[in-house]
Amino acid sequence: MKIGILGAGQLGRMLAIAGYPLGHQFGFSGNTNNEPSSLLGHMFALEDNAEHIESLAVFSDVITYESENTNVETVREINKNVRVYPGEKSLFTTQHRGREKAIFDQLKIPCAPYQMVNSLTDLENAISNIGLPAILKTATEGYDGKGQFVIKTNDQITDAWNSMNGVESILEGFVNFKRELSLIAVRGVDNDHKYYPLVENTHHNGILRLTIAPAQDIDPVLQETAKDYMHALLDEMGHVGVLTIELFETDNGLVVNEMAPRVHNSGHWSIEGANTSQFENHVRAITDMPLGDTTPTHALSAMINIIGETGPTDIALGMPNAHLHLYDKEERADRKLGHINITASSQAELDSSIEKLSAFLPKS
């Protein structure tokens, strides 16, 4: 099939790399010369240019997207003639934090207390209801820690609101958690579901730096609870493709933070670490192929993000259990340039491998 991707970044690149062995072709919307996917398929200029979007739709048998910030109207228009997966409901829900929290409430999935905010007065009222500390976030388009302000004291309230630049926002109560987890799953057109194991994520300045898969010392009940939450969300949205939920593990169980209707940074380990990667399974799902087995291939895997500068990649190339993935992007502060996957047969081997690659991890 010919698969169109709204976007041409590293996620589209890895989808294409996974999809070509299955016999598919790919087209992308993005800048023709400077995007990570530009040499991996047909390019159809910028996403917001209606003429080129129409050309992408004519090329494609099915279309997917890289980001929950994709324009819903664009997807709605394309879907009149070409199937778009995940569907409009998934996109509409996940691109707005208020709608996301509302579906959690509807399905009785625990999440932080929250209140929508459209003014300084709204924020003051929300704080009086929720308390401090709390996190103020833009309702849409924030990612990698952008568009967020942690409010610890009342004298920060005005600065917090000013940092939102007047856009609709959401105040979320602070969650005391032991660690951050995520769960990735995939749902097919035929309603088949597959789940990857819960993984543990470590962030620095709002950017994911390290993922350990599977997360260690997970009570089987916790894994099943996360799967139940995911199953409910997949079915409620009629989702086709990969869906990711980010969670906090607390003393009282799991609290869901947010979700993404796409392949996700915390699932990159699956390229070498699972029988079928998240990228291949997304392609399988949207093209109505049988879903692949998600069982890990090693006792442990890890993913280290390469952020800002490429760094000493020869270290990874000299390690038999390390796998380098660069995205063909220019160096820039806080930019995701690539990642390194590690596979290991024991915790000791994983720890030793991560230590060898410590130059790619933050110092504090």
Render pLDDT for 219-271 as a digit per residue (tens, 0 to 9).
999 999 999 999 999 999 999 999 999 999 999 999 999 999 999 999 999 99
Residue type, 307: I
Predicted confidence band at 50 (pLDDT cuts at 50, 70, 90)?
Answer: low
CA–CA separation, 362 vs 130, rounded Å?
A: 33
Residue type, 314: D
Structure confidence at residue 32 (pLDDT) = 66
- Looking at residue 98, what DSSP letter applies? H
Tens-digit pLDDT profile for residues 8-23: 999 999 999 999 999 9
Structure confidence at residue 48 (pLDDT) = 57
Mean pLDDT of the chain: 95
Question: Between vectors from CA 302 to CA 297 and to CA 305, what angle results, nearest 5°?
Answer: 135
The answer on pLDDT for 52 being more than 80 is no
Q: What is the mean pLDDT of residues 324-338?
A: 96
Q: For the chain, how long is the longest CA-to-CA vector?
A: 59
Cα four-point dihedral sign 312, 314, 316, 318: negative
Distance from the first to the final alpha carbon of the chain: 46
The answer on pLDDT for 47 being more than 70 is no
Tens-digit pLDDT profile for residues 80-138: 999 999 999 999 999 999 999 999 999 999 999 999 999 999 999 999 999 999 999 99
Structure confidence at residue 98 (pLDDT) = 97
Q: What is the mean pLDDT of residues 339-347?
A: 98
Structure confidence at residue 16 (pLDDT) = 98
Instruction: Give SS3 for 106.
Output: helix
- The count of other CB atoms within 10 Å of the CB of residue 1 is 16
Question: How many angstroms separate the Cα of 83 from the Cα of each of 1, 74, 247, 322?
Answer: 12, 12, 30, 38
What domains, with CATH codes, occur in the chain?
2-84 (3.40.50.20), 113-173 (3.30.1490.20), 179-360 (3.30.470.20)
Tally the residues of the chain. 364
Predicted confidence band at 147 (pLDDT cuts at 50, 70, 90)?
Answer: confident
Q: Which residue has the higher pLDDT, 34 or 261?
A: 261
